[in-house]
């Protein structure tokens, strides 16, 4: 192999490998379906929030919101999320909320905050929303959603999502906590 040929191959690899890595570690747009876990029927009007963050630094690091998108499911429970063409972002936080249901999060499961392991960033996933039960705590659920949703640097882009759970859960969570506090002060 001549030296010039070697140079050409090396140059091609120099260009190709970063590109392959770049696309391999990036997040492509995906589509999915949100259904009622009990009935299997599509859930229309669920808000799907996704957020990527980016951590920078070595030794001392900082993390910032990189990209936020929120979409609403159609009458068939279907939605499409945009992707991110950047291999240096952290894995996304994906949260789905619809009034009357337990919020779905790709990292953890409510109640109990167990770790979710069954989700991979790919199209075709069916997101099953459990109905909110009488035994579930509104306060814990509110914290679960707000923890999943809140990177305060990007709240404006999460307007639909925050408005939806604020309107339907905030008051109930506050009242539940007040009741708990008043019971504990009576003890």
State yes or no: residue 49 binds other proteins (CB under 8 A): no
Sign for the CA dihedral angle at 139, 140, 144, 147 comes to positive
Question: What's the closest the beta carbon of residue 29 comes to other proteins, in angstroms?
Answer: 19
Footprint on residues 83-142 left by other proteins (CB under 8 A): 87-91, 93, 107-108, 113-115
**98: exposed, middle or buried (Cβ count in 10 Å: 0-12, 13-18, 19+):** buried
Among 1, 5, 39, 60, binds other proteins (CB under 8 A): 60
Say if residues 144 and 133 touch (Cβ distance below 8 Å).
no
Please give the radius of gyration of the chain, using alpha carbons only, rounded to the nearest integer. 21
How many residues form the binding site for other proteins (CB under 8 A)?
52
Q: State how far Cα 153 lies from the chain centre.
A: 16
The set of residues, in sequence order, having a beta carbon less than 8 Å from that of 24 and lying 6+ positions away, is 87
- Candidates 143, 160, 168, 176: give the one binding other proteins (CB under 8 A): 143
Q: Which residues bind other proteins (CB under 8 A)?
A: 6-7, 10-11, 13-14, 17-18, 21, 25, 53-64, 87-91, 93, 107-108, 113-115, 143, 146-147, 150-153, 155-156, 158-159, 162, 170, 173-174, 177-178, 181-182
């Amino acid at each position: 192999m001549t030296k010039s040929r070697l140079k050409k191959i090396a140059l091609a690899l120099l260009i190709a490998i970063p590109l392959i890595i770049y696309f391999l570690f990036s997040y492509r747009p995906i589509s999915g379906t949100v259904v009622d876990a009990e009935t299997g029927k599509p859930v229309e009007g669920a808000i799907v929030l996704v957020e990527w963050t980016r951590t920078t630094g070595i030794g001392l690091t900082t993390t910032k919101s990189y990209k936020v998108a929120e979409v609403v499911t159609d009458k068939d429970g279907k939605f499409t999320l945009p992707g991110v063409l950047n291999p240096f972002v952290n894995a996304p936080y994906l949260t789905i909320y619809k009034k009357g249901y337990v919020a779905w999060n790709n990292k953890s499961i409510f109640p109990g905050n167990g770790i979710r392991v069954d989700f991979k960033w790919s199209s075709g996933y069916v997101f099953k929303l459990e109905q909110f039960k009488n035994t579930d705590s509104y306060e814990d659920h509110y914290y679960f959603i707000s923890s999943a949703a809140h990177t305060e640097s990007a709240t404006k882009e999460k307007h639909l999502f925050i408005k939806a759970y604020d309107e339907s859960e905030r008051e109930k969570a506050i009242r539940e906590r007040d009741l708990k506090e008043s019971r504990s002060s009576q003890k």
